[in-house]
Amino acid sequence: MKKFFLTCLQTILVVVALAQSKEEAAIQQIFNEALGRGKAYELLSDLCTNIGPRLSGSPGAAAAVEWSRHVMKDLAFDSVWLQPVMVPHWVRGQKETGRLISRKQGTLLLNVCALGGSVATGPAGVVAGVVEVKSFEELKALGSAGVKGKIVFFNRPMDATKIQTFTAYGGAVEQRANGASEAARLGAVAALVRSMGSNLEDYPHTGSMRYAANVPKIPALAISTKHAELLSRVLKEEKEVQVYLENHSVTLEDAPSFNVVGEIRGSEYANEIIVVGGHLDSWDLGQGAHDDGAGCVQAIEVLRLFKQMGYKPKRTIRAVMFMNEENGLRGGAAYARQAELQRALRDGVQPQVHIAAIESDRGGFVPRGFTVPTDAAAKAKVRSWKPLLEPYGLTDFSTEGGGADIGPLASQGVHLLGLLPDSQRYFNYHHTAEDTIDKVDKRELELGAASMAALVYLIDQFGLK
């Protein structure tokens, strides 16, 4: 009897060992393929150099939609389709002008750019005195008396001592998002916002801003961090300086566009869907290489890797290129609406359920882990895979939640996850003319794609319950 138990135990151990090595082998194969013969970098180079910037509503965005559809068809995914969505259509217009007019130093050019959504100064520009603030509290303390007729200069830097640069960004970005309306409430004529950058740089960072209801819309521009320092220094020395700002942005009517979806159908549970995605639109200044061309090509690469390995997923795996993350999130909302409709049985069509969505929208940098679901059981399950993922440098499973585009799926109980790359260099390039393909390291991009594929593989094998 003892011998029988021992034999049972041995059998169990062997089975466990084999089961273990099956997943280890699959993940090894994913990384070998991605690093040895990966396509992510080649795809991203193509997208960046042959299409480049692709803000919602722009010709570049339309070309990027066709590019994605074409690429996924060429890779012979089971289905590839477009999902229509109306998007905001903001156009920067001719290059902005910024000038600092100092009594002591004469006129100095300032590197500025309009924030996305800003109204124009028009050809006459805006010229006014400048008041510098570091917070909305400081602004309010000044009151209309201190602000009326002025340009408000929001100059709170990203906190360099935060280890995670996204934390520093979160602590400063309200100036960009809401600064203009907060200033306009007190009678300001324009808002000039220190760029959301980690370092002292020559180039400005754009990004979305929004106007509050029932407040005058005033032009909102970003200034490079170096010139923010310059302006602040001159203000301290001279107290009164004038700044001239000119931009020609315009918001046109909403434009038609698309999310682009490609899928490999599941072999066992075809109606259970795992989404892996990034956003296809980018700001207009660079090539949208890290933000978020990287996420798009990584999502495509996940499906390509599975096909290349001959892996037949149990569930349906979908690569989604979301449109309009940068200034509206319309693509994410449209995708979630469709997903909601498909949860119900209609016209004899089998309902579909999304079990997980994983976004890569933190740049194509070396991966350090994943953001994990907020649901305790799902979170514990993802963390239980840590031993399988640690050999690939994936050790950080501490942050909850996914990306912006998949956010609207949360109300359907979909587990949201994200790729978590190292954040140190992200805000060197984010929303700038510097976000170009030469800033992306091939191996780092490939490791990110392989990491996403490994996670999708594990969710496909074991679910998240």
Q: How far is the CB of 160 from a second copy (least distance, A)?
A: 5
- CB 382 → a second copy: shortest distance, Å? 17
Strands (E), 14-111: 79-91, 97-102, 106-109
Decide whether 210 or 368 has the Cβ nearer to a second copy.
368
Conformation bin of residue 219: beta by default, left when phi > 0, alpha when psi is -120 to 50: beta
Nearer to a second copy, 1 or 160 (CB): 160
Catalytic residue among 33, 201, 272, 325: 325
Minimal distance in Å, beta carbon 205 to a second copy? 16
Closest approach of a second copy to the CB of residue 53, in Å:
23
Which residue, 323 or 450, has its beta carbon nearer to a second copy? 450
Beta strands per DSSP E along 57-179: 79-91, 97-102, 106-109, 112-114, 126-133, 151-154
d(CA 23, CA 457): 9
The CB-of-444 to a second copy minimum distance in angstroms stands at: 5
Q: Tell me the three state secondary structure of residue 114.
A: strand
Choose between 327 and 451: whose C-beta lies nearer to a second copy.
Answer: 451
| Long-range contacts (CB closer than 8 Å, 24 or more residues apart) made by 230-238 | 230/100, 230/108, 230/110, 231/100, 231/110, 231/130, 231/132, 231/153, 231/155, 231/192, 232/132, 232/153, 232/155, 234/100, 234/102, 234/104, 234/105, 235/130, 235/132, 235/153, 237/104, 238/102, 238/103, 238/104
Return the number of the residue (132 or 396) whose C-beta is nearest a second copy: 396
Q: By CB neighbour count within 10 A (0-12 exposed, 13-18 middle, 19+ buried), where does 124 fall?
A: exposed
Question: What three-state secondary structure class fits 90?
Answer: strand
User: Between residues 336 and 447, which has the closer beta carbon with respect to a second copy?
Assistant: 447
Six-digit token string for 143: 């009151």
Of 322 and 457, which CB lies nearer to a second copy in the complex structure?
Answer: 457
Tell me the closest approach of the beta carbon of residue 400 to a second copy, in angstroms. Answer: 17
CB-based contact 246:97 (threshold 8 Å): yes
In angstroms, the CA 335 to CA 320 distance is: 9
Distance CA 458, CA 289 (A): 28
Residues that bind a second copy in the complex, under the rule CB under 8 A? 31-32, 35-36, 160-161, 163, 165, 198-199, 366, 368, 391-393, 395-396, 422, 424-425, 428, 441-444, 447
132 in active site: no
Three-state secondary structure call for residue 455: helix
3-state SS record for 234-258: HHHHHCCCEEEEECCCEEEEEEEEE
Cβ 62 to a second copy shortest distance, Å = 32
- Least distance from C-beta 387 to a second copy, angstroms? 13
| 342, burial (CB in 10 Å: exposed 0-12, middle 13-18, buried 19+) | middle
- Alpha carbon 422 to its chain centroid, in Å, reads 14
Q: Which tokens is 385 given?
A: 């895979």
Min dist. Cβ of residue 38 to a second copy (A) = 9
Of 124, 189, 116, 118, whose CA–CA distance to 152 is shortest? 189
Distance, in Å, from the CA atom of 18 to the CA atom of 359, rounded to the nearest integer, reads: 31
Q: CA torsion sign, 310 to 311 to 315 to 317?
A: negative
Cβ proximity to a second copy: between 312 and 443 the closer is 443
Closer Cβ to a second copy, 162 or 265, answer by number: 162
Work out whether the CA dihedral 385, 390, 393, 399 comes out positive or negative: positive
CA nearest neighbour of 301 among 79, 451, 460, 459: 451
Q: Return the active site residues.
A: 325
